[in-house]
Amino acid sequence: MRIQADQEKCCGAGSCVLAAPDVFDQREEDGIVVVLDPEPPAALHDAVREAAAICPAAAITVAD
Amino acid sequence: MTTAQRTAPPTPLTLPATRAPGCPFDPAPGITDAARGEPVTRATLWDGTSCWLVTRHEDVRAVLGDPRFSADAQRPGFPFLTAGAREVVAGKPTFLRMDDPQHARLRRMLTADFMVKKVEAMRPEVQRLADDLLDRMTAGRTSADLVTDFALPLPSLVICLLLGVPYDDHDFFQERSRILLSLRSTPEEVRAAQDELLEYLTRLARAKRETPDDGIVSRLVARGELADGDIATMGRLLLIAGHETTANMTALSTLALLRNPAQLARLRAEPALVKGAVEELLRYLTIVHNGVPRLATEDVVVGDRTIRAGEGVLCMIGHANRDDAVFPGGDALDVARDARRHVAFGFGVHQCLGQPLARVELQIAVETLFRRLPDLRLAVPYEEIPFRGDMAIYGVHSLPVAW
Ligand code: HEM
Ligand code: SF4
């Protein structure tokens, strides 16, 4: 799995951080998404897919 | 009589719609019925204009996630639920009713303040405020109105702290926000309340220039990018959105759990469920109950309908949150359900900025209330509870409880 997050699209409400805290975080200065682990282990894949599904700005893309 | 034999046209849906008596937690049944046959359907607004209602989860996400649907309420044809609501945007719009890039520029001045990390760090403070309020509510008493003594002051105190607004002025801003959110307020009342709030917040911004603190208003002033009037407009959005919503969710959630004792028992037995239970309550209760408005700027196909450029749309998030395709058996409250895909905070780039804060406040409020008051119950017959069918944000006007 490979994750990309589009920081231009992100609106910073943090749903991804709640869904997959080991993979996503928010930048200190403006709350915009950062990917902590762009190639997370299999155990986190479901959480990442959930994060991508609930992201309101369609900012997270996941390629298998 | 020939008229009687003519096929009557289907009763037109009119908005704001009313809920069924006896089912105060369920969204308006007229819309539910219409949506069953036609998930994208037409309705007539109070002023005789018509707009589209979008009711399926998938379609609501599609509309709110699509930049061809504008949130700019100053565009002709934008749907308003009341004359008062139209008055609110006649003045200076907040970023809630702007499109990108203007919206993103303003929103991004605040995203750091509401990000998950920042808000999670406030847990101990929110917990202390909740405990203080309950100490005071229960001292020497066995009953109280949960709205005035707990549900409303908790988020009001928190948003005041965050903004740097003195909580002592709460009577003033709570009354103004009640007028702004009432579907019964006249345009004149709305304009007066709006002006008074803006004046108050403009004065506050000016005062922060002299004596800065680390609240949001003061930091917006220090940033130097916005005039005091613009800071006041932003402050008004945060102040109102920041306390009315969580307050109503807290009281309505309490009532919903008291009315569903098996669910409450389950939550009490498994406190770890509280985070998921709050998502489920947000879904089940959807207090933004009159629809999230947008205007099509191009022809767009939604479901099996074409919405034309210039036509208004109301995304009925309460109905979308009961969509069986996503939430099977969604008419029931189930604290163990995975409800994270609910759209109670909206969807798209305008999705609630304050959602991490609302979550922390609600998790703490619900957990603390039911832990500290194991015998919490209604102090009046259920039939006497005044529901807020007359307000833009649903909930209860008061909730008399005993313990
Ligand atoms: C249970 C509590 C809450 C609910 C159900 C709720 C619901 C919503 C909804 C549905 C929207 C989207 C409106 C639209 O797209 O037109 C929204 C936007 C917003 N909410 Fe909340 N809200 C809650 C709590 C809060 C809190 C605590 C704050 C704190 C300041 C807040 C601040 C905002 C702001 C600033 C916006 C505008 C965001 C934008 O346009 O980019 N909300 N909220
Ligand atoms: S869920 Fe999407 S919009 Fe929200 S912070 Fe994460 S990437 Fe940004």
The pLDDT profile of chain A, 64 residues, written as one tens digit per residue, is: 999 999 999 999 999 999 999 999 999 999 999 999 999 999 999 999 999 999 999 999 999 8
Residue A25, pLDDT score:
97
For the entire predicted model, the pTM comes to 0.96
Do B341 and A54 meet the contact criterion of CB atoms below 8 Å apart? yes
CATH of residue A26's domain is: 3.30.70.20
Most informative mutation of B118, B352, B361 for ligand 1 (most atoms within 8 A of CB): B352
pLDDT of B5 > 70? The answer is no
Distance CA B258, CA A55 (A): 32
Mean pLDDT of B68-90: 90
Which residues are CB-contacts of B344 (< 8 A; sequence separation ≥ 6)?
B282, B283, B285, B286, B287, B288, B317, B321
Do B333 and B252 meet the contact criterion of CB atoms below 8 Å apart? no
Mean pLDDT of B235-259: 96
Q: What's the mean per-residue pLDDT of chain B?
A: 94
Helix B187-210 crosses helix B216-223 at what angle (to 10 degrees)?
70
Residue B91, pLDDT score:
76
Considering only CA atoms, which of B318, B286, B333, B260 is closest in space to residue B54?
A: B318
CB atoms within 10 A of CB B373: 17
Q: How many angstroms does the Cα of residue B290 sit away from the middle of ligand 1? A: 14
Residue B89, pLDDT score:
79
Q: How many angstroms does the Cα of residue B106 sit away from the middle of ligand 2? A: 17
What are the tens digits of pLDDT across the range B323-342?
Answer: 999 999 999 999 999 999 99
Read out DSSP for A2-18? Answer: EEEE-TTT-----HHHH
Q: What's the mean per-residue pLDDT of chain A?
A: 96
Residue B350, pLDDT score:
98
Exposed/middle/buried for residue B262 (C-beta within 10 Å: 0-12, 13-18, 19+): exposed
Residue B379, pLDDT score:
98
Q: How many angstroms does the Cα of residue B358 sit away from the middle of ligand 1? A: 9
Whether chain A has a CB inside 8 Å of the CB on B67: the answer is no
Residue B254, pLDDT score:
98
Tell which of A8, A10, A11, A30 to mutate to test the B interface (max B CBs under 10 Å).
A11
Residue B220 structure tokens: 């917006």
Domain that holds residue B143: 3-402
CATH of residue B27's domain is: 1.10.630.10
Which residues are CB-contacts of B203 (< 8 A; sequence separation ≥ 6)?
none
pLDDT of B7 > 50? The answer is no
Ligand 1 within 6 A of B285 CB?
Answer: no
What are the tens digits of pLDDT across the range B257-314?
Answer: 999 999 999 999 999 999 999 999 999 999 999 999 999 999 999 999 999 999 999 9
Residue B18, pLDDT score:
87
Q: What is the ipTM, given to two decimal places?
A: 0.96
Distance CA B402, CA B373 (A): 9
CB atoms within 10 A of CB A23: 24
Ligand 1 within 6 A of B181 CB?
Answer: no
The Cα of A44 is separated from the nearest Cα of chain B by a number of Å equal to: 17
Q: Which atom of ligand 1 is nearest to the CA of B293?
A: 16
Ligand 2 within 6 A of A15 CB?
Answer: yes
Residue B51, pLDDT score:
95
Residue B46, pLDDT score:
87
Considering only CA atoms, which of B262, B233, B252, B302 is closest in space to residue B55?
A: B302
Hey, are the CB atoms on A31 and B112 less than 8 Å from each other?
yes
Do B146 and B251 meet the contact criterion of CB atoms below 8 Å apart? yes
In terms of DSSP bridges, do strands B143-145 and B400-402 run parallel, antiparallel, or are they unpaired? antiparallel
Domain that holds residue A56: 2-63
Domain count, chain A: 1
Whether chain B has a CB inside 8 Å of the CB on A62: the answer is no
pLDDT band at B236 (very low <50, low <70, confident <90, very high): very high
Most informative mutation of B161, B245, B254 for ligand 1 (most atoms within 8 A of CB): B245
When CB atoms are compared, the residue of A13, A17, A30 closest to B351 is A13
What are the tens digits of pLDDT across the range B304-314?
Answer: 999 999 999 99
pLDDT of B8 > 70? The answer is no
pLDDT of B201 > 50? The answer is yes
Range list of H helices, A1-64: 15-19, 45-54
Contacts of A57 in chain B (CB under 8 A): 65, 348-349, 351
The residues that bridge with A61 in the sheet, in sequence order, are A4
pLDDT of B52 > 90? The answer is yes
Helix B216-223 crosses helix B228-259 at what angle (to 10 degrees)?
150
Residue B82, pLDDT score:
87
3-state SS class at B293: strand
3-state SS class at B226: coil
Residue B6, pLDDT score:
44
Distance CA B140, CA B148 (A): 17
Domain count, chain B: 1
Hey, are the CB atoms on A26 and B347 less than 8 Å from each other?
no
